[in-house]
Amino acid sequence: MKKSKTYAHHFVGIFNYFYINILTSVTKKLLYLIFLLSLFFSQAQQNQEFKITKDYFDYQRFMLNNEFEKKFDSESNWEEKRSIKEHFSEFMVKLDSIQNTAFIATLIKVKNREDLERITSRKTMADHAENPEKQMLNEQATYPGGFETLRKQVANLFYSDSVLPDQKLLKTNVVFVVEKDGSISGVQAEGENFTFNRQAEIALYLLPEKFSPAMINGTAVRYRFRLPLAMNFE
């Protein structure tokens, strides 16, 4: 029993170390990195900002996983091994929640930047043209692997634990602009549940691939894209 308590306290210490360091440094270090990179990236910028956040937490998971593996491999008692696995699962759940908090902060920053760019931009109206008539397009904007691949990737990137469902089936329409370089901007989820909308927007910005842009007479154009999403919370 004493040994189990010792391991429990040890793992609490490990998690507290990572928890405190992540919470205290993510705002300063991570968002500072995002600010610096925002000086150098253009239309694909929002994807890069979310990638920085994701890479940061992927590294934290890697470090925690290594620490737990060492303790698991060094333990010969199977009851203690089971306890180590349980603690590891609990810590990963907490880390997922911390990561989502960082994603929310990144989403706010991206949206504020995009709003500021729209206000201060000196581009022509033609540069800002969105959603030309479909019959004008020679090629529509497409995601690598097609529409179903897009929906599956969004579903896999969706953090449902933060959603507070007020009904079993939640729906939203995610509207965004596919830029001329295939990146996305202006992501806006239009649904009745605020947290569901927010997580849908985060999932879109986390997509790993760029779109193939819409084309008119061989020239890439900005195009407004609509993606309906639904999720069952039974």
The answer to whether residue 43 scores a pLDDT higher than 60 is: no
Question: Cα angle at 160 between 156 and 161, to 5 degrees?
Answer: 130
**Choice among 87-91, 100-104, 191-195, 199-203 with the minimum mean pLDDT:** 87-91
- pLDDT value of position 135: 72
Buried b (16+ CB within 10 A) or exposed e, 86-115: ebbeebeeebeebbbebbbbbbebbbebbe
- pLDDT value of position 122: 58
User: Could you tell me what percent of the chain has a pLDDT over 70?
Assistant: 76
Q: What is the pTM of this model?
A: 0.77
What band does 185 get if pLDDT is binned at 50, 70 and 90? very high
User: What average pLDDT does the segment 33-54 reach?
Assistant: 59
**Choice among 55-59, 118-122, 142-146 with the minimum mean pLDDT:** 118-122
Where does residue 147 rank: exposed (0-12), middle (13-18), buried (19+ CB within 10 A)?
exposed
The answer to whether residue 194 scores a pLDDT higher than 80 is: yes
The answer to whether residue 171 scores a pLDDT higher than 90 is: yes
What band does 48 get if pLDDT is binned at 50, 70 and 90? confident
- pLDDT value of position 207: 94
The answer to whether residue 73 scores a pLDDT higher than 80 is: yes
The answer to whether residue 211 scores a pLDDT higher than 50 is: yes
